[in-house]
Structure 1
Amino acid sequence: MTNWEMVELHRNSGDWEKVVEEIVRIEKRVFPKHESLAKSFEEELKKKNNGLLYSKIGGEVAGYVMYSWPSSLYASITKLAVKENYRGQGHGEALLKAAIEKCKTRNIHRISLHVDPSRIAAMNLYKKLGFQVDSLVECYYSSDRNAYRMYLDFDTD
Structure 2
Amino acid sequence: METPKGKTPKMANWGMVELHRNSVNWAKVVEEIVRIEKRVFPKHESLAKSFEDEIKKKNTGLLCSQIGGEVAGYIMYSWPSSLYASITKLAVKENYRRQGQGEALLKAAIEKCKSRNIHRISLHVDPTRIAAMNLYKKLGFQVDTLVERYYSSDRNAYRMYLDFDTD
Query: Normalization by structure 2: what TM-score?
Result: 0.93
SS at match of 2:127: coil
Give the structure 1 partner of residue 117 of structure 2.
Answer: 107
Note the 1:1-157 alignment, pairs <5 A.
1-157=11-167
> Which letter maps to 1:107?
N
> Which letter maps to 2:58?
K
> Which letter maps to 1:74?
Y
Instruction: Name the CA distance, whole Å, in 2 between partners of 1:136 and 1:143.
Output: 14
Instruction: Name the CA distance, whole Å, in 1 between partners of 2:22 and 2:39.
Output: 27
Instruction: Name the CA distance, whole Å, in 1 between partners of 2:149 and 2:129.
Output: 16
Instruction: Name the CA distance, whole Å, in 1 between partners of 2:23 and 2:66.
Output: 15
Instruction: Name the CA distance, whole Å, in 2 between partners of 1:2 and 1:14.
Output: 21
SS at match of 2:53: helix
Instruction: Name the CA distance, whole Å, in 1 between partners of 2:23 and 2:53.
Output: 16
Shift of 1:14: 2.8
Instruction: Name the CA distance, whole Å, in 1 between partners of 2:33 and 2:71.
Output: 7
Instruction: Name the CA distance, whole Å, in 1 between partners of 2:23 and 2:37.
Output: 21
Structure 2: runs of 5 or more not aligned: 1-10
Instruction: Name the CA distance, whole Å, in 1 between partners of 2:17 and 2:24.
Output: 13
Residue deviations 1:52-72 (CA, integer Å, cap 9, x gap): 000001110000000000000
SS at match of 1:14: coil
Give the structure 1 partner of residue 4 of structure 2.
Answer: none
Shift of 1:142: 0.1
Structure 1 vs Structure 2: percent identity of aligned residues? 89
Instruction: Name the CA distance, whole Å, in 2 between partners of 1:11 and 1:53.
Output: 12
Structure 1: runs of 5 or more not aligned: none
SS at match of 1:139: strand
SS at match of 1:77: strand
